[in-house]
Amino acid sequence: MTDAAPPGISRWAIRIEFDGRPYVGWQRQKSGLSVQQLIEEAAEHLTQGRKVSSVTAGRTDSGVHAAGLVAHLDFPDDAPLSRKAVRDAIGYHLKPHPISILEAAPAPEGWNARFSATWRRYRYTILNRPARPAMQEGFVWHIRAPLDIEAMQEGANHLLGGHDFTSFRAAACQARDALRTLDELTITRSGEYVYVDVQARSFLHHQVRNMVGTLALVGHHQWHPDRVKEALEARDRCKAGPTAPPDGLCLMDVGYPDNPFQP
């Protein structure tokens, strides 16, 4: 795939918010409902049923949420489009699904939602209290025992920078290699909530959830922070911690040098 839109195509950028619980993830699957399918079908109402294809900046898994996922839509170039029409009409035809189009804009020349992105930012939210969640169910990982976030941050620091993250990739990961560079990995607490914020150009399949599951062991004092470094250097998935559940993971934002949403 090239970065530029093919001839006869009008490319539009959209920023999306969704609750990932009802879906098999972003990408179309042989079975199950995907976010991609619903957005493309809603977009085809603007083209009298003609096909609209999409590419996303990040393929979220089943149960993973998004507060600012970016994708592009390729419309026939004779479709009458405007920022308001693309945002509101697609949003209307997505009802009652918990998917919202936050912004829409014509894509710059040569722009591609996936290949033009220079960073992705995720947040993983842990509810750290004895009582189970009621209103937050499905959007947090509930951990009853207190977490030591200072120890977690000490362990997280071993993961910053460029490394081979084989120990933190899913067995089904299709990336050509496990070399990635983490620009940020910070753990903070706000009352009963523990937030793990992570930013990089790209991530491996389940990388964030595997890192969070490992750091939770450190937070429980089951692991010394230095054991995170040992797991990383082992380049063996069996040496790292468990995969955290999808509930707490949310794709927050995607960065571009040429941001189509800025005036």
Instruction: Classify strands 141-143 and 119-128 as parallel, antiparallel or unpaired.
Output: parallel
- For residue 20, report the phi and psi dihedrals to the nearest 5 degrees: -80, -5
Least confident of 72-81, 145-154, 214-223: 72-81
**Residue where the block lists tokens 């910070």:** 186
61 is catalytic: yes
In CATH, the architecture of 9-116 is 2-Layer Sandwich (3.30)
Confidence of residue 214 (pLDDT cuts 50, 70, 90): very high
Residue 1 has pLDDT above 70, yes or no: no
Statement: residue 89 has pLDDT above 80:
yes
- Phi-psi category of 215—alpha, beta or left, where left has phi over 0 and alpha has psi -120 to 50? alpha
Per-residue pLDDT band at 7 (split at 50, 70, 90)? confident
What distances in angstroms separate CA 53 from CA 39, 77, 99, 189, 261, one per listed residue?
Answer: 9, 13, 17, 40, 20
Find out whether 97 and 112 touch, Cβ atoms under 8 Å: no
From 61, 148, 164, 253, active-site residue: 61
Where along the chain do its domains lie? 9-116, 119-252
**Token couple for 109:** 């020349």
Average pLDDT score, the chain: 95
What is the mean predicted confidence (pLDDT) over 70-76?
96
HSE-up (13 A, CA, CB side) for residue 72: 26
Same topology, domains 9-116 and 119-252? Answer is yes
Residue 93, phi then psi, degrees to nearest 5: -80, -5
- Residue ranges of the annotated binding site for substrate are 122
pTM for the structure as a whole: 0.94
Kind and range of the H or E run holding 151: helix 149-157
Per CATH, the number for 119-252 is 3.30.70.660
pLDDT digits (tens, 9 = 90+) for 27-37: 998 889 999 99
Pinpoint the alpha helices (H) of 179-248.
207-219, 226-234
Beta strand segments in the chain, E: 9-18, 53-56, 65-76, 99-106, 119-128, 141-143, 161-164, 179-190, 193-200, 249-255
CA distance 237 to 257: 34
